[in-house]
Amino acid sequence: MDYPRITTDDRADAVIPLSHRDAKQVDSKVDRWRRENPDAFYTYDVEKTGGCVVQFWGYRIYYGRCVDCTGLVTTRRKISHKKEGPTWTGRWPKYCTECNTRKREAHSDAARARMRRLRAGERQRPFEFSEKRS
């Protein structure tokens, strides 16, 4: 078999792949849509917490009520870097900053108290295992 030889001149109109750096400059369809719709505005309710989310300018902003004290819970999460696939940002917070701090400190205090009790208990009966063996 004799195939025709492909020369450089034949491939003059061929697509030359971009370098990685140049390829990053090319807009995706998400980029183009965002540029054409700069003031797109979305809002939806969060059923699990009874709060709501407002989304604009590449951010998702959550407003809700604290489960414990019904104070305002608000969080901002960036989604502008998410350009393909889902833009999930995880669950929204249940507690306000004060309640969160209080709960975290209570958790740490309980752990410290447990450890303290454990150490005190060990000191009271230090040779328990060796006595059983002999």
Taking CB under 5 A as the criterion, the residue among 34, 75, 99, 102 binding Zn ion is: 99
68 binds Zn ion (CB under 5 A): yes
Residue showing tokens 């030889």: 5
Residue 53 contacts Zn ion per CB under 5 A: no
CA angle 78, 81, 83 (to 5 degrees): 125
Beta carbon of residue 27, minimum distance to Zn ion (angstroms, whole number):
43
Does residue number 96 form part of the binding site for Zn ion (CB under 5 A)?
A: yes
Tokens 């939806």 sit on residue: 44
Among the listed residues 71, 69, 72, 81, the one whose alpha carbon sits nearest the alpha carbon of residue 31: 81
Angle at 34 (CA atoms; ends 56, 26), nearest 5 degrees: 145
50 torsion bin: left (phi>0), alpha (psi -120 to 50), beta (else): left
Counting contacts by CB under 5 A, is residue 100 touching Zn ion? Answer: no
Nearest-angstrom CA–CA distance, 3 and 92: 63
In whole angstroms, how close is the CB of 51 to Zn ion at the nearest point?
Answer: 13
Binding of residue 49 to Zn ion (CB under 5 A) = no
- Decide if residue 106 touches Zn ion (CB under 5 A): no
CB of 98 to Zn ion, least distance (A): 6
Nearer to Zn ion, 30 or 69 (CB): 69
Residues contacting Zn ion: total by CB under 5 A: 6
Q: By the criterion CB under 5 A, which residues form the site for Zn ion?
A: 66, 68-69, 71, 96, 99
